[in-house]
Each structure stands twice: as C-alpha cells, then as structure tokens.
Amino acid sequence: MDLDELVIAPKNSDGKCRAFRALKVSAVMADTLWPMGASDKHDRPVYATFAASEGEIRPFVANLLCGRPAVPTDNRSYRRRGYDSGYEFMRSVGYKVLWQRHEEGTLATVYLPDLVALDPGMVDPKGIKFVVVPGANYLADEAKKMSVDKIVSYVRGLPLVKEVNTPEKDWRGHVREGWEESLSREALAGMVPLSYLFTLYLSNRSRAPTLVRSCKP
C-alpha cells in the first residue's frame, strides 16, 4: 500500500484554526465484518497505522478519534466535485491506539478491538472473527518454503475453481472480449502463503479441530 500524507482540515472554513497532518503507513478495511464499516463518503478502517513527530501525531489521532475525517493532501479531484474522500474513525465505535516511539518519529496504530487482536488470547466461545494482515516480505519468504506450483495445480483442478474460471460468453457463444480468469495461476500463487496462515489462525481460535496439512518440503 502506498504511503499517503493525510490532513485533518481546520474546523473553521477561514483556515484560522490548525490543520493536523500525519503519514498513513497502512490501512485495512473489512466492511462486511462489522455493521458500521460501509460508508458512501469515507473508508472506515478496522486497522491503520500513522506516522509523524511526537508533537504532530498526538493531536492528529485525538482529532481522528473524534470522528473528523483525514483526507489525502493531493485529493484535488474530489475537492473539485464538492467533497473529500478519506479515512473516518467514528467516535462511537471504540477504537484503541497503540503507541510506538522511535528516533525518526512516533507510530500510532489505531484498531478495532472487536476484529483485531494485537495479542490474541484464548478461543472466543461466541464466534470467530479476525483479520490476517501479514507483511508482503513475510508472504514472499513463506512462499519460497512452500510447494506453491503443486498446490496451485491441485486447486485449479477443483470443481469450484473450474466453475469460477469458466469463460464468460456472449449470445453468439464467443468468449467476451477482455475476459480473464478470476483465479489465475498468478492470483492463486499469491494466496497460498496467506491461506496457510489463515488456516493456522482459524485452527488456533476454533474449539473444533482443523486439519492443517504441511505444505512445506
């Protein structure tokens, strides 16, 4: 995900009040997992990380958790259409913040505790909800340890995947122009290490045993 500089605009339109800025390092949306996730105007992350100096990050996060949207500073096309599209953290939701101080600045991780457990505990008896957000480097390293090609070949032979990859045809029976496989070899190869990690998380959080077969040599 690209790094974006975000700004929380002054409350007054005359610009006399202070604007608050920070760098968005990451943001994860999971709209279908909670009732207030979807919004027509702004993205509502369940997990996000922001970076700035200690003096800048504190008021930025304080205003963010008051429900004021943070908008990319280069979002000119949206402003011309009369509105800004950015990130919104609703005050009533109950986000939590984890602070990390470094020489270069301070990181603030804002997350929704109902979906994101930074330190997962025991199995939740009411249900299983979690978001798996590994780093790209981690996934690349794990893929090197797995028999990815063999796994992809096996998955592409499954009836469900064959059905998803069935070409779309027009009324003449010709494959529609521009059609591409939804679950191509490249797409599936990228899912292998993430799927393995997801299954491990699911097994650790479920009272029922989950069969996880090692796909490492």
Check pLDDT > 70 for residue 51. yes
- Please say if the pLDDT value at position 214 is more than 60: no
Residue 64 — pLDDT band, cuts 50, 70, 90?
A: very high
**Count of Cβ atoms closer than 10 Å to residue 56 Cβ:** 17
User: Average pLDDT of 90-119?
Assistant: 88
Mean pLDDT score across all residues of the chain: 81
Question: What pLDDT is recorded for position 169?
Answer: 85
What are 93-103's pLDDT values in tens digits? 889 999 999 88
CA 28 – CA 10 distance, rounded (Å):
26
Q: How confident is the model at residue 171 (pLDDT cuts 50, 70, 90)?
A: confident
